[in-house]
Structure formats: C-alpha cells, structure tokens
Amino acid sequence: MSDTKQVIEQQHTFFRSGATRNTAFRIGQLKKLKNILKENEQPIFDALEKDFSKPPFETYASELGILYAEIDHLVKNVSSWAKPTAVRGSLFNFPSKNKIYSEPYGVVLVIGAWNYPVQLTLNPVAGAMAAGNCVIAKPSEMAPNSSALMANLINKNFDPAYLHVVEGGAEISQELIDAPPDYIFFTGSTRVGKLIMKSAAEHLTPLTLELGGKSPAIVDETADLKKTAQRIAWGKFVNAGQTCVAPDYLYVHTSVQAQLLDELQAAIHKFYGANPRQSADYPRIVNDDHFERLTGYLDNGTTVTGGKAVADERYIAPTILTDISRNDAIMQEEVFGPILPVLSFTEIDTVISALNDQPSPLALYIFSDNKAQQKRLINDVSFGGGCINDSIVHLANPRLPFGGVGQSGMGSYHGKTSFDVFSHQKSIMKKNTWFDIPMRYPPYNDKLKWLKKLIN
C-alpha cells in the first residue's frame, strides 16, 4: 500500500470512530491550528519571503489575518451550524417532523495554490475541520518553502489520522485523488481544474474548484479617479499581481482615461517609489516559467509606465499598457502578474456585450457613482463576485461566499459557506404510527380526484 493511500485509510478509520462529529473536538482543533500559526508567524514571514520576496505586512494582511478571522468565525458559530435544522412538512406527509442534518463527508483532500500558499491551503482546511471531516492537505510545490513549513508545523502537531500534510507535485495529487478521498477541494488554474475534475469523475468524488479567469475593472466617467487609481493599483500590484482576483485588465471611459492613467502612475510611485525594484514592499515572480510567460506580454500595445524586467531577480516592474485590443496575446489568458492592459469605451452596452462574449471571470470591479450603471453590470454580467469602488477586498469577509462560476470555478467557501460545502445535507422525515392517511394505499379506485383536490 502506498504512503498516500495508507494516510487516507488511517483517516477513514479515525473518521469512523466518530471523534470528529463532536463539536467541542472541532473547536479545540481549530483553536490549536490558530495557536500554531500565531506562534510561528516569523517562520511564515521568512518562508514567503524566500518563495517570492513577499513583505511581512502583505503576508499578515493577505494570509494570516484572513486565516485568523476565518478561524474565529468558524469557532464562534460551528456549534449552532452543526445542529439539525427543522423545516416545515407537507400536507401529503402530515403529520411529520422534518429536519436537515449536516453530515461531514469523511476524508477531505485540499489541494492548495502557490500564490497565497498558507491562506489558500489552510482556509479550506479550517472549513473542512469545522464541518467535522478529517483532512489531507497538499500545498503547492511551486512555493517550496511555504509547503515545507506547513508540512512541518501540521505534521508534528496533529495526529496524521486527523490532519496531515503531504508534499509533492502533480503525481502526488493524482495518487491522493485515486486513493480516493470523500471530497476534493482544489484551488488553481482552469487548465489543471479540468484535469482534477476528470480524475475525480472516475471515482464520482464530489469536489469544489476555485479557479481564475480574466477579472475586469470598469471605470466610468463618474468615478472618483484618485481613489479609484489607488485601489486598482493596490489590487493589481499587491503580491506582484499574482492574485486570482486581481484586476486583470481595465475598461476605462474615454473621457477620463488620460486622467486615470496619470493617477495610476502617481499611485504606483506613492506605493513603491521611483524604482520599485528597490522597494522592500514589492514581491517577485514565483519562478522562471512564469517570468518568461509574463515578459512575453511586455511588447503588447504601448507602455505607459514600467515595462522593465530583470531575469535573475524575476523582477517585473508595475506596468501599464494602452492601445490594447482583444486580439493581443495579453488578452487571451489570465495575466497573473504585474502587467495591466487598458481598453477604452464610450458606451457601457459595448462593455457588457464584450464581457458576455468571454468566459465568466472570478471577479469584477465597478468604479462608478452611477447606481443605475452599477446595477446593470451586476445584473447583466456573470461573474463570481466583486466590489463596487474597490478591488479584491471582498474575499476577506468570511460572511461573503467566495467562488467562481463557469470557467472560473464551481462551489463557494468562507464562513458558513465553508461549513456547508464540506457537509452533506441529510434530510430526515420522522413519522409517528398513531395516525395514517389511507388514501395513499391501493386499491386507488376513485382516489385520484381527491388527491388532485388536496394538491391543487
């Protein structure tokens, strides 16, 4: 038996013991996870700095802070969420009592992503724990220092039969999927998501896919351009653009485009100085392959600012490109880096039509003080989630479900949604024996007319 299969078998055995169904056990384990993270903040800062020069502030804000808030929210609410929910019965089944029981799936496999390696691995892990599952986490091998640290911290502090980290690449993921687990949660690219789903289908394993896509930001003529520029620049260039919900490209009304470009350049200078390469707050690209892919976009359109790249540092300056068409290479796939293409528009109908011709993105951002325009974009365009007059911050609210639609994913998580996604909803109807409705039993004779009267 392979090591991966043995770990899953161990977890199946532990799950069948019933220990994880106790909400006090779940709460205790979640608190333990948070305490381990808090006690090891400096090693986490160090690991992410080694992986792609991520500054401690960004690590705390986008990784640990979000995790702490998520775990606290789960701990506070899991006891009430785990209670059966009573629902109304139907006349046909009178009298009856009807309840929905949230039942953990069993063994959950979480395959994490590299760009926010701690948060995007342990956030769904926490949700699966809250729902009463055992969990195997497979961090991304593309952030090796973060992966090794998580394996060390988790595996030395938790029973592997309950929570365990397995390191490795695609072949390890495949072994784990084929074991198989009872549920799979994957965060990553659409291309890999399709492969994961295909493999899961062989075992009919249910899954959630958190993918990506080209998330647009739309700026109309009513927007506050200074604040808009700061919020777009921050959302785009935080983590050097390596964020699944970063503004991937802009649609800007022609009447404000020149001023917005000026404000964007001012925001970049304010954040990272005259030479972002020397800024301690500006990360690097995760590996050489991604660096080469991204630098291939730098000759698209016209460079407004940035455009510089240093291969041996995997540094790409915060870059803005104009004179971009939808046929350019940069518009064919998610950028996932610090390069922001800008398209212009005069009529919002043109934007809506163009967006609806593309796969549904994970996020969409509307910068406008026009409430009618805001409403149109929300109602007429399909996307996972987003913000009005800000970018990427919606994912930090544990009360908002986070997930994609269509090519950008299936299923949502965070907060109560995490509890639900890792739970099977078991419906139970309880009947007494002191009363029965004879109409339902044969012979039916002329009962059909009475049945119609009851139902209609």
Which positions are annotated as active-site residues? 210, 244
The secondary element (H helix, E strand) that includes residue 9 is: helix 3-16
**At a CB cut-off of 8 Å and minimum separation 6, what does 225 contact?**
219, 256, 259, 260, 263
Helix segments in 60-118, DSSP class H: 65-81
Beta strand 423-431 with 96-104 is: antiparallel
- DSSP label at 387? E
CA dihedral in degrees (24, 25, 29, 31; nearest 10)?
A: 10
Q: SS3 of 296, please?
A: coil
Give the separation between CA 263 and CA 427, rounded to whole angstroms: 55
What are the φ/ψ torsions at residue 51 (nearest 5 degrees)? -70, -45
**Three-class HEC string of 144-178:** HHHHHHHHHHHHHHCCCCCEEECCCCHHHHHHHHH
The secondary element (H helix, E strand) that includes residue 129 is: helix 119-130
Residue in the block written with tokens 């304010």: 270
| Measured CA angle at 168 (ends 166, 173), to 5 deg | 80
Q: Pick from 243, 149, 235: which is nearest to 187 by CA?
A: 243
Q: Pick from 363, 358, 143: which is nearest to 243 by CA?
A: 363
Q: Pick from 77, 106, 124: which is nearest to 11 by CA?
A: 106
**Three-class HEC string of 21-44:** HCHHHHHHHHHHHHHHHHHCHHHH
Q: Pick from 414, 404, 374: which is nearest to 390 by CA?
A: 374
Tokens of 347: 């009529």
Tokens of 422: 């890792």
Q: Which of left, alpha, beta for 400 (phi over 0: left; psi -120 to 50: alpha)? A: beta
- DSSP label at 408? G
